[in-house]
Structure 1
Amino acid sequence: MALSYVVTGGGRGIGRGIVERLLGQENVVVAVERDAEALEWAGGRVIPLLGDASAEAIAEEAADLAQQAGTLTGWVNNAAVFRDASVHSDSAECVVNLITANLAPAVVGCTTAVRRFLNAATPGAIVNITSHQAQRAVPGALPYSTAKAAIEGLTRALAVEYGPKGIRVNAVAPGSVATERYAEFLAALDPSVAGKVERELAELHPIGRVATTGEVAAAVAYLLSADASFVTGVVLPVDGGRSVLAFDPEAR
């Protein structure tokens, strides 16, 4: 029987890269996405599911589809909302709502996955996509950074609680990634400014460039695989060294 996976936010960018990587030769992936256009490419062994990943009913439907297609083996919580807010200019309610918008899909996904693995009495793995911003905040991204830090805490707590049940939970923390959103951001800038931004982003990563979606997907696939059978509770940076870079003031 084929192995099956669920990937939230699976229509574009990192999510699509993960879906394509997990397919392999015979696996099935349920891709959850809010935007119907982002799933137009799906088909065959990619099962599209339109809906909000923070809705329990959608998560349950995704699990049903995955289990009907194969043995549910892995769940990737990738869905995210990119909208900034600041406590000096936005209400506390607005900030809390934006934190929840990024945290809730991971909580709902983890809850659903854990219950399905337990009920089926099969081992399983969960990977939560966080960000370098969870540990090193970027000005103007308070809700996103806060939610991603919470997801890393959730990852560790679940790993400890459900490891004895054969469920592994890890996180991948990307740096800057060349997604469609990244390309659209650069395209909206004046060419001279875009070039400067690209150079500055490259300098933030010791490897000298931003990541491809495939590089992030490869790390996720590893953590879901049997090769990582003794790895749990880990936050794996896939950031080209961005999280360990300290600029030398004397070099300036």
Structure 2
Amino acid sequence: MADSFVVTGGGRGIGRAVVERLLADGGHVVAVELDAAALAWTRSHPAGTRVRVVTGDAGDEAVAERAADLAQEAGTLTGWVNNAAVFRDASLHTAPAKEVMDLIAVNLGAPLAGCATAVRRFLAAGTGGAIVNVTSHQARQAVPGCTPYVTAKAAIEGLTRALAVEYGPRGVRVNAVAPGSVRTERYDEFLDQQGPEGAAHIEAEMARLHPLGRVAQAEEVAAAIVHLLSDEASFINGATVPVDGGRSVLAHDPEAYEPPS
């Protein structure tokens, strides 16, 4: 049977890029997305019935189970990508602790539900499989004002390591990718809101933050995710792979200087 995959947050940005890459490689893909409008492109996709959709909250285990059912109808479920995320934040000095905890739960709950469903299906089928969780450079480089998001992404990296050691002996690999800034629909909308001068300033700052001089394309992050799902990554387990152009290893320092050409 053909390989099949589930990708949460599969309607836009990194998620869509992963779906497109897996389809191009001949796989069957179930895209999970909260916003039905974000999945409109799947209706006329050249892959036809190889791409299927589930509309709903990726943090709802019933939604995850439905996605797993569709994936297993199409082929052998071999990979699961937990990409869905919500970008809402709060600060402890202005928001009740419960509100902050609820925001953390939104971003931790979706990959937790996805991992739980994927692990159970892999073990029941006896086939093993691979899970990739999408975290962020913010898991290790905190951004002011983003406490819930930073905390959730750090927890997802801990979850990745815990599941890798618990289920690795049973043929289930669990890894994560940690993108830096990525040119997605959300990123472009953010730039548009700043006006021409503001957008130019942000783009210059992004070039300064990323040693490669630019933000990532969604397809570049997708390539790393698909590699981790593949047999070529068969001995990679429990890793968090930065896909950030070197952002996480760059230190801005007043003693820095430009080396001679």
TM-score scaled by length of structure 1: 0.98
Report the equivalent of 2:19: 19
Whole-Å Cα distance in 1 between the matches of residues 244 and 151 of structure 2? 19
Report the equivalent of 2:205: 200
Q: How much does 1:25 deviate?
A: 4.2
Report the equivalent of 1:110: 115
Report the equivalent of 2:4: 4
Report the equivalent of 1:189: 194
For residue 224 of structure 1, the aligned residue among 209, 226, 229 is 229
Q: How much does 1:251 deviate?
A: 4.3
CA RMSD of aligned residues (A): 0.9
Q: How much does 1:113 deviate?
A: 0.2
Asked if 1:71 is matched to 2:54, the reply is no
Whole-Å Cα distance in 1 between the matches of residues 36 and 66 of structure 2? 17
Specify the code of the residue in structure 2 equivalent to 1:199: A
Q: Deviations over 1:96-149 (max 9, x none)?
A: 000000000010000000000000000200000000000110001110000000
For residue 160 of structure 1, the aligned residue among 162, 165, 172 is 165
Specify the code of the residue in structure 2 equivalent to 1:48: V
Q: Deviations over 1:70-114 (max 9, x none)?
A: 100000000000011000000111000000000000100000000
Q: How much does 1:190 deviate?
A: 1.8
Matched length: 252
Q: Map of 1:124-203 to 2, 5 A cutoff?
A: 124-203=129-208
Q: Map of 1:50-69 to 2, 5 A cutoff?
A: 50-69=55-74
Q: How much does 1:48 deviate?
A: 1.1
Specify the code of the residue in structure 1 equivalent to 2:13: G
Asked if 1:238 is matched to 2:243, the reply is yes
Asked if 1:213 is matched to 2:239, the reply is no
Q: How much does 1:46 deviate?
A: 1.4
Report the equivalent of 1:122: 127
Q: How much does 1:193 deviate?
A: 1.2
Whole-Å Cα distance in 1 between the matches of residues 195 and 128 of structure 2? 51
Whole-Å Cα distance in 2 between the matches of residues 73 and 42 of structure 1? 21
Whole-Å Cα distance in 1 between the matches of residues 13 and 54 of structure 2? 17
Identity of aligned residues (%): 68
Report the equivalent of 1:83: 88
Report the equivalent of 2:105: 100
Whole-Å Cα distance in 2 between the matches of residues 125 and 25 of structure 1? 16
Give ranges in structure 1 of 5+ residues lacking alignment: none
The runs of at least 4 aligned residues of structure 1 exceeding 4 Å deviation read none
Specify the code of the residue in structure 2 equivalent to 1:139: P
Q: Deviations over 1:192-243 (max 9, x none)?
A: 1110111101110000000000000000000000000000000000000000
Give ranges in structure 2 of 5+ residues lacking alignment: none
Please state whether the residue corresponding to 1:236 is helix, strand or coil.
strand
Whole-Å Cα distance in 2 between the matches of residues 235 and 178 of structure 1? 21
Whole-Å Cα distance in 1 between the matches of residues 162 and 189 of structure 2? 36
Whole-Å Cα distance in 1 between the matches of residues 67 and 253 of structure 2? 48
TM-score scaled by length of structure 2: 0.95
Q: How much does 1:250 deviate?
A: 2.8
Report the equivalent of 1:46: 51
